[in-house]
Amino acid sequence: HRARQYRWAGNHLVRRMEGGGERVVPRVGERERLIRDVHERAGHFGVKKTLSLLAPHYWWLGLATDVAQVVRGCEACDRVKAAFNVKHPTLQPLPIKGLFYRWGLDFAGPLPKSSRGQQYVLVMVEHFSKTIILAPTQDKEPGTVAGVFTREVLTRFGACAEVVTDRGGEFGGEFQACLDAALIDHRATSAYHPQANGLNERVVGLVKRALRKWCLGHAAEEWDVYLPWVAMGYNFSAQASLAGFSPYQILFGRDPVVPGAIKVALEEPLDLDHPERLKALVAQRAALFRRWMPMAMGNLQIAQHRDTLRYAKTRSGAWKPQLIQYGVGDYVYLQREMLDTLDIRAGERILRMRSVEANGVLELEGSDARTVRVHVERCAPCHRPDVDGRLDPRAAVPSPDFACTRCKKATGAARMLLCDGCGAGWHLECLDQPLSAVPEGDWYCGRCRTAQDLLARESAAPWVGPAERARAQGPGGDSAAACYWLYLWCRDA
């Protein structure tokens, strides 16, 4: 019976779903790569949005669990979303009027100049369907805004009733004249209160986060090449405020085809030359619009009502920010200084909590076994499930003030040789037998080589406890060797 639910379409296994549709069942070894590819190419969105991009085209047992595991293990997402403070949401919802009634405009930037000279992103959001358009620009002059708005909105979707912007100078001059000529009302947010255009504020933040994640693995000057993929990922993703539909579905009345599923979707020919088939497609689209639009409208009103209650609770003082309580063994990121708007505040190192003091000072330990003391405000929790908790002192990265064991000088880092046993450093010229270059392979200092020789000799001799060994050596014995064996005893006890 189960076999009848499946069929082969070329090299792909296809499952027939209960509603009449079909989903591709990818091979087990390809599933993680498929999830990761869709997640990264579509803007590093969360579990729900990534799942909404995959579910219309793919099926396998445990799809949602696998998506959650891959997304939560994404290093770029975890570092970019690391929060070092709590911000109060202050949103003022605008009344819902319908599709293409209102567009919101805002700028993200300045960003690092791309190889094509782009420094800003003009973010345009249609307030009903939540459709976004992202246009890279070299500047934020009113003439530039007017040209982009005319090309991307007016000539594609027609004149809207309202445009919402902040009070920046880039939204005056030629842009205001463009709106006046099209008989469009220009609504500007209150001074010093840009959160009134809350939808655009959230999208601007989303765009910056997506670009930061992309820049972790690519050249930062190529961010404008990735921008269309960010817009695609957002417009193709289901939105909770749209009753689970995506902006693409609201606009076009059909499911989007993500790039990973294009080949599969085109393997079976579809003949559109028959009038009956065309008539059926048109009727199907009309039925979808009749069913989806009221549901989306209702969910938008519910979402705005929920935002209004949250705003009132925040302003009344009854709302309290979420407090993060750290415990021994928790993993955290350290805050670092951002070089530009696409940089990430969370550093690359993941540190483990060793102790928490009452004054808010934390003692953290890195994978190199080194410890650091910082205040809790400089830490953000790490949520990755795949953190390697093993310690390896050889992975230590010397600090800029790391000094030579012999001359005690921190200069000449290029000539510094580190012991692979104890981590101590020597300048090449400060060694008992100076070297002209850093040797290949592992290198151990004199004390570590002596300890290794002692260990090799002792492994072939009868075992003697550390206390007896220290007594046998007497006051004039080898104190370094005695201490070393005492250390081994304590370590293995």
The most confident of the ranges 34-48, 286-300, 304-318 is 34-48
208 and 305 assigned to the same domain: yes
| Tens-place pLDDT, residues 441-467 | 788 888 878 777 766 766 665 554 444
170 has a pLDDT exceeding 80: yes
Closest CA to 244 of 182, 186, 296: 296
Same domain, 373 and 482: no
Highest-scoring range by mean pLDDT, 12-26, 129-143, 399-413: 129-143
Residue 225: count of CB within 10 angstroms of its CB: 16
Q: Are 346 and 80 in contact (CB under 8 A)?
A: yes
Tokens of 411: 């200069």
Mean pLDDT, range 289-304, rounded to an integer = 55
Is the predicted pLDDT of residue 275 greater than 60, yes or no?
A: no
User: pLDDT-based confidence at 117, cuts 50/70/90?
Assistant: very high
Q: How many domains does the chain have?
A: 3
23 has a pLDDT exceeding 80: yes
Q: Which range (417-421, 436-440, 455-459) has the least confidence?
A: 455-459
Are 223 and 127 part of one and the same domain? yes
Once rounded to an integer, what is the mean pLDDT over residues 133-154?
93
Q: Are 352 and 375 in contact (CB under 8 A)?
A: no
* Inside any domain, residue 453: yes
Dist. CA 191–CA 197, nearest whole Å:
12
Q: What is the mean pLDDT of the chain?
A: 73
Residue 227 lies inside a defined structural domain of this protein = yes
State mean pLDDT over 325-330.
78
Q: State the average pLDDT over residues 95-119.
A: 86
Q: Residue 199 is part of a domain; what is its CATH number?
A: 3.30.420.10
Distance CA 349, CA 370 (A): 12
For tokens 């003082």, the residue is: 317
Q: What is the pLDDT of residue 479?
A: 46
pLDDT for 191: 45
Does the pLDDT at position 222 exceed 70?
yes
Share of the chain above pLDDT 90, in %: 8
Give the per-residue pLDDT at 458: 60
375 and 419 share a domain?
no
**Inside any domain, residue 185:** yes
191 assigned to some structural domain: yes
303/336 same-domain check: no
Q: Are residues 354 and 437 in the same domain?
A: no
Looking at residue 264, what is its pLDDT?
A: 45
Higher pLDDT, 434 or 315: 434
Predicted model pTM? 0.45
8 in a structural domain: no
Residue after which a domain boundary falls, among 363, 395, 427: 395
The residue with tokens 């009132």 is 312
One domain for residues 451 and 343:
no
Same domain, 442 and 481: yes
Let me know whether 309 and 335 are in one domain. no
State the pLDDT at residue 257: 64
> What's the pLDDT score for residue 466?
45
Whether residues 448 and 373 share a domain: the answer is no
- Of 233, 224, 186, 203, give the one whose Cα is nearest residue 110: 224
The Cα–Cα gap between 318 and 322 comes to 13
Candidate ranges 37-46, 143-152, 195-204, 238-247; pick with highest mean pLDDT = 143-152
| Spacing of C-alpha 427 from chain mean position | 41
Share of the chain above pLDDT 70, in %: 67
**Residue 336 within a domain:** yes
Quote the pLDDT of residue 144. 95
Query: The CATH number of the domain where 419 resides is what?
Result: 3.30.40.10
Residue 355 domain-assigned (yes or no): yes
User: Strand order of the sheet with strand 22-25?
Assistant: 6-9, 12-16, 22-25
Domain membership of residue 31 (yes or no) is: no
CATH code, domain carrying 354: 2.30.30
Q: Would the pLDDT of 104 be above 50? A: yes
Residue 450 pLDDT: 79
Specify whether 303 is located in the same domain as 364. Answer: no
Query: What pLDDT was estimated at residue 143?
Result: 94
Quick: pLDDT tens for 35-90.
888 887 776 777 887 888 888 888 888 888 888 888 888 877 776 666 555 333 34
pLDDT for 142: 93
Question: 138 vs 244, which has greater pLDDT?
Answer: 138
* pLDDT exceeds 50 at position 99: yes
Q: Which residue has the higher pLDDT, 12 or 131?
A: 131
| Distance of alpha carbon 132 from alpha carbon 125, whole angstroms | 4
- Among 84-93, 151-160, 309-318, 366-375, the least confident range: 84-93
User: Strands, E, within 10-153: which ranges?
Assistant: 12-16, 22-25, 102-108, 120-126, 132-137
The stretch 157-163 carries a mean pLDDT of 89
In whole angstroms, what is the distance from residue 23 CA to residue 473 CA?
Answer: 77
Q: For residues 308 and 173, state if they share a domain.
A: yes
* Domain enclosing residue 453, as ranges: 414-492
Read off the pLDDT band of 236 (50, 70, 90): confident
